[in-house]
Structure 1
Amino acid sequence: MPKKLALTTFLIINILIGTTMFVTLQTCLNSNLGATTATTTSNTFFSLQLGQNSPIYSIIVFTIVAVYSNFIWIYSKNNNFFFNIIQRIGYTKFLKKGALYSFLGGSLLSVMMSFYQLSFLTLLIHPLQLNTPVTNQSEGISVFDNGNLWSIVQFIILAALGWGVYAVFVFAVTLWIKKNVLAMVSGGLLGVLLFVLPALLAQLLQGIGTTFFYPVQISTLLSPGMITYPSIPIEQAASYFPYSLLFYALLAIFLMILWVKQKEKKN
């Protein structure tokens, strides 16, 4: 098992790094780099974020982050030998460790992706500035997109927290899935569903319930301030991030508590 786990982890990380590098380079080639400024670097970085690039790339990231964060816990839960150990140490202890390592795994991969993207863009385009005129903010596609290094660092921190919570949420959902194959692709399936469905419902209801649907929209959690609804100005989009974080954290906790109660009832 340790060798298989190490090999799987190695493959997952390298696939993610390779995909990130390819998409970053492809985006640079497709961008207008005639004016190589800090704002160009910032614009390109944010164009690589969730919902701004290829849907296939987004699905790959959804799936890989979830698998990397949850693989060992999925395997343990669905393996008779390891599940007997889980029963002996207690469900609560298992969930605490699973949630903690899922959060750390999701956050770590998010920071790693951002670091690789930013490093490549800085080398290929232009370094970011420490102090940026306010006028640059109007050129961006996000409230954080102004060519300022500190603005992007703030976005990276928020996105890392969001990906960590998303990984915990996926972990909580996979507790209810008995097939390893289905559990491993659940991150991608959930990501697509939670990206499309809230926006579709908000559109069908013509803006009614926007304050509920927007925090549920997964991009609000994973790419704060990037994708907005018509009734939400881009300047206010990032302010919904704490509500999205709280919603998915509480939903994950609820699913885990329910799972424990179900297992204890069966025993």
Structure 2
Amino acid sequence: MLKRTQKFVLIFLIIYFLMITWQFFIAAKSEAGLIPLKGKAVDISVMLFFSIQPNGWNENIINLVILLALVPIFGAGLLIYFKNNNMFSAVQQRIGYHGFIKAGIIRSFIIGVVFSLITNLYQLALINLFYYPFFFKTRPIKLYIGARPGYFSTNQLIDLCSYVILSAIGWGIFAVLIFSIGLFVSKNSIYLVLGPCVGLGLTLLSFIISLGNEFLLFLSYLWFPFAVLAPGQFALDSRLPPINSYLLFILVALLYLLLAAYLIKLWQQKRKLG
């Protein structure tokens, strides 16, 4: 069983990183005309990095769906499998409900953070090695808003670091949320697609509600998953977030954590009542 699982993990990791590499070379080819002939220092590498992020002009929805699925599966998939099968009683006797929940939260968060960091660092390495070396500068505010809808900073180095760090934390929080929902899922096959279903479902709901007035726009951003998964990248229905992007990240992250805590508490009470 362990060898089969290891093969499964290895195959999907290879497929995932091949998809990322393919996405990069497609994007680099489409933006090749921006590379200066005489080696002039320009900021095209930063622009290419954000172009392959969610909602970027070179994004790949397949990569996104794969990541939405892999992070929860690799994080707590094995624990959910134990819960849904006869092995759960043995796990519960050995570590108890508290240990089971603690392991699920920690593993989910760490895997989410690590997956996001590795993905973004790999993309940065590909760009630096095979496209153009990174060069950072401060861009005019108007130009920056025009390039990316929900911005953090007009300094590209600070913005790049903010995005990579916050996105990693956001993926960890999202993975914890999926784990908490997965506690109520009795079918392993459903958990395999739970990440994409929840992520894309919340995204669709946010886009629909954002079509209303300013208050509804604010509400739609509060549960919008990409406010934490890809902070600063989206403007719902071409309408900017009504609050600062840093504050929006904090609010959505807190909402997801509170919801996860409530679901975990509810599941524990349900198990105790039999």
TM-score by length of 2: 0.87
Equivalence for 1:224: 231
Q: 1:233 to 1:218 in 2, by over 3 A?
A: closer
- SS of 1:217's equivalent in the other structure is coil
CA contact (8 A) 1:99 1:168 kept: yes
The yes-or-no answer on 1:135 pairing with 2:109 is no
CA contact (8 A) 1:173 1:255 kept: yes
Gaps of 5+ in 1: none
TM-score by length of 1: 0.89
Q: 1:200 to 1:125 in 2, by over 3 A?
A: same
1:71-106: CA deviation from partner (whole Å, max 9, x where unpaired): 212211112123432245211110011110110001
Higher normalized helix content (fraction of residues): 1
**Of the candidates 92, 104, 107, which is equivalent to residue 98 of structure 1?**
104
1:263 is displaced (CA, Å) by: 0.6
Superposition map of 1:9-158 within 5 A = 9-36=9-36, 38-52=42-56, 53-129=59-135, 132-135=137-140, 138-139=143-144, 140-141=147-148, 143-144=151-152, 148-158=156-166
CA distance in 2, matches of 1:184, 1:101: 16
Q: 1:137 to 1:101 in 2, by over 3 A?
A: farther
CA distance in 2, matches of 1:41, 1:238: 24
1:35-75: CA deviation from partner (whole Å, max 9, x where unpaired): 45542111111111123323333222211222222221221
CA contact (8 A) 1:59 1:188 kept: yes
**Of the candidates 193, 203, 215, which is equivalent to residue 222 of structure 2?**
215
Q: CA-atom RMSD, angstroms?
A: 2.3
Equivalence for 2:191: 183
CA distance in 1, matches of 2:6, 2:162: 32
Equivalence for 2:252: 244
Aligned length, in residue pairs = 264
Equivalence for 2:175: 167
1:146 is displaced (CA, Å) by: 5.9
CA distance in 2, matches of 1:21, 1:235: 35
1:31 is displaced (CA, Å) by: 2.2
CA distance in 1, matches of 2:87, 2:133: 52
Gaps of 5+ in 2: none
Q: 1:150 to 1:253 in 2, by over 3 A?
A: same
1:4 is displaced (CA, Å) by: 2.9
Q: 1:169 to 1:21 in 2, by over 3 A?
A: same
